[in-house]
Amino acid sequence: MTVKECFNVKGFASSNNYVSRAFHMAEHDSYLVAILREAGAVIIAKTNTPQTMMCADTNNNLFGLTKNPVVSHLTAGGSSGGEGSVVGFRGCAMGIGTGVGGSIRIPAAAQGVYGFKPSSGLLPMLGSEPSTWAGTNTGVPAVCGPLANSLRDMQLLVKTVRAAAPWTLDPTTLPYIYEAVPSTQTPRRPVVGVIRQSGLTLHPPVRRAIQEAVSRLQAAGFEMREFVPPDFATIKKITAELFTLDGLSYARQELARTGEPVLDSIVKLGLWPRKAKTPEEMWSWNAKKAAYQKQMHAAWAAAGIDIALCPAWPHSAVKPGDWSNTMYTVCWNGVDYPAVIIPFTHVDPAIDKPDKAFVPLDSFDAQVDTEIQALYKYLATDNTGDDKITRVGTDHTVDPEVLKGAPVALQLIGQK
């Protein structure tokens, strides 16, 4: 199996892909790596991450760009893009990524594999290399989780790690939050809440995936209910401020050590320009996050649902370096709910026709649509993949031929 670069593997470089740390050798295994090795796992590689690890793409000045093995001219996602790529290529049995805003689920969705972001406390992070100041608590906990080609494989990994009682050594790992307790209640199927969209308009392939999933679940006898959560745009704004409490001073320090330039993909996500917060501002943003968590909890209860079905993102993968929004994934980090990516379908130009009736929800929705337009035009004029693409369109979700075969994934979310 493979592990993300931020996990220490004794005797191998552990740089977090900063040039300044290129020859920093790990003197010990991360606790999770040690548990897996003790259980018989063979670690065959550490996998690529983006510069700073605060990016939904995977590119850096040490190892370069990670490519998508399914559609090579589209992004592999990030920040666990190396894991997503090697698992998607079936170069390993399974892998471990980390996430604080979608870094497990975005690469899983981009490559059409399974990915699980647990709530905090399920799997140990002890002994991994931080991508920011050690001990930093932004209010949005980083977690680790598996990427694999089946739910069964992910379940095997989680059960194996939990069986080692990691809470006996890692005080941030909690006991008895995964281990099943026999229930005295009559088993029933969960009630599924359906999130059609929030904050950004879904593109035709994603709308089709949601509707097909609803139809299949209804046919299988599940009760489906419409679920309108608190606006994802709100928690996106809150988490962006929490991720940059220090103004990304750690990343700036590491880049400055060698004069390493910041990559465009880091800037495009919108976190790099944000300023450090005062203590009073930190408390205020965390209070806003707590209020959003309460709103989500209340909305969930009012809807009477057990789990939610949600898009992984409003569109399929984009051009490398152009990922600019994470609101469909970061919302679940913000409330610390577990979420799993289910690969569901692929973009099919014969079915997924351009949306000529598109009306943006707001200025950000219009901005994202403009970026997608640019993607189509870029891919239509440059030979970025194996075949030169020559078609250009003019409407929302232009020319599905550009995205032909791109994976389309959905999320299933539970409460903490």
Q: Indicate which residue of 15, 30, 103, 265 is catalytic.
A: 103
Strands (E), 356-414: 407-413
150 is annotated as an active-site residue: no
Residue identified by tokens 């903490």 is 416
Cα distances (Å, whole numbers) of residue 218 to 165, 315, 398, 408, 412? 38, 24, 31, 20, 16
Using an 8 Å Cβ cutoff, are 98 and 78 in contact? no
Return the exposure string of 86-104: e unless at least 16 CB atoms fall within 10 Å of the residue's CB, then b: bbbeeebbbbbbbbbbbbb
Counting every residue, how long is the chain?
Answer: 416
46 is annotated as an active-site residue: no
* CA separation for the pair 206, 64 (Å, rounded): 30
Q: Indicate which residue of 14, 79, 80, 128 is catalytic.
A: 79
79 is annotated as an active-site residue: yes
CA dihedral 85, 91, 93, 98 (to 10 degrees): -30
For 300-330, give the DSSP string: HHHHT-SEEEEESSSSS--STT-----HHHH
Question: Which of 223, 214, 166, 151 has the alpha carbon at shortest distance from 38?
Answer: 166
Name the residues annotated as catalytic.
4, 79, 103
